[in-house]
Amino acid sequence: MEYQKLGSSDVSVSRITFGSWAAGGWMWGGTEQNDAVGAIHASYDLGVTSIDTAPVYGMGLSEQIVGEAIKSLPRDKVQVLTKFGMRWDLAKGDFAMKTKDNEGQDIDVYKYAGRDSIIKECEDSLRRLGTDYIDLYQQHWPDVTTRIDETMEAVQRLIEQGKVRAAGVSNYSVAQMEEAEKTLNLASNQLPYSMLRRDIEKNVVPYCQQHGKGILVYSPLQLGLLTGKMKPGQHFDASDLRSTNRLFKPEAVQKVNDFLNKIRPLAETKNVTLGQLVLRWTLAQPGITVALVGARNPNQATQNAKTMDMQLSFEEVDFINKQLAGLQLG
């Protein structure tokens, strides 16, 4: 495994980080807690020491699962990354979405990062996680109803109290990062990024490189599409966010699979899966610090962690890039 510090903070993370969005079941069609705990333990055994979660993943369930998993692990050897600013229990802030909880009940989720709300969220997260500090505390989404300096002042207070080691943001633009930096020192920005979604390369990546900020990317396998296991017309339950995602329309899946078949021989020569090859390519991209990868069971977690057992040469990355250049999804 490879490890890297986040910005100028003293938080060092594993470059493959366990993403526990799916473990919470929310928008992924449910989860099995024992499998999720086993997946975290399997990851840890292979050097994946960092776990990313959020309160809104399963309305607290994901954090509870992470808390259960880290009970038997040495706390100082594990990095817990969680978030704030998505409230389902408070009709306040910037309305985000209508969704369902894990019991199928309709709920509204709001983006809200007011001072008192953050303090409450932190206490709730610490309780669910069964710990007294959070290694990286990230604002989940920008909240247009709250001044950024108010939000960051609250996080700074939590750092001073020893409840948070480092501050991060998620889904922030360069302008928003610049505004946040007036109040505190950001360690990182967490953003969507994959072979099929590379818009952050324009502005955010250069800014983070120039200012020494870590970049944690989520959905590097594009919700499983880049594993090569998806078939055109594959059915997803209504509770699964892939059921309405344009990249999962049959014609898009076919085009992506055609591209993956072009790089499949490279994966075979290295005796790795397509997913592992895609993850290694992701971590080879300039400025990318961490790839967040989910796993529902120990087998998936093991495969993700073993990505780091291989290397890609410059020529191999260039070969993949050339095949990728021919992929037109419209």
Q: Could you tell me the two tokens for 232?
A: 């055109």
Is 57 assigned a catalytic role?
yes
Selection from 50, 96, 303 nearest residue 190 by Cα: 50
Reduce the DSSP state of residue 217 to 3 states and report it.
Answer: strand
Of 44, 57, 110, 218, the catalytic one is 57
Query: Which residue stretches of 81-227 are H helix?
Result: 115-129, 148-160, 174-181, 204-211
Beta bridge partners of 81: 52, 136
Residue 27 · residue 240 · CB < 8 Å: yes
DSSP conformation class of 192 = E
Query: What is the DSSP secondary-structure string of 33-62?
Result: HHHHHHHHHHHHHTT--EEE--TTTTTTHH
306 φψ region: left (φ > 0), alpha (ψ -120 to 50), beta (else)? alpha
Helix (H, G, I), strand (E, B) or coil at 113: coil
Q: Is the dihedral of CA 273, 170, 61, 240 positive or negative?
A: negative
Q: What does residue 87 show for φ and ψ, rounded to 5 degrees?
A: -105, 130
Distance CA 65, CA 38 (A): 10
Q: How far apart are CA 162 and CA 313, in angstroms?
A: 42
Question: Cα-Cα-Cα-Cα dihedral of 84, 290, 13, 146, to 10°?
Answer: -20
Residues annotated as part of the active site:
57
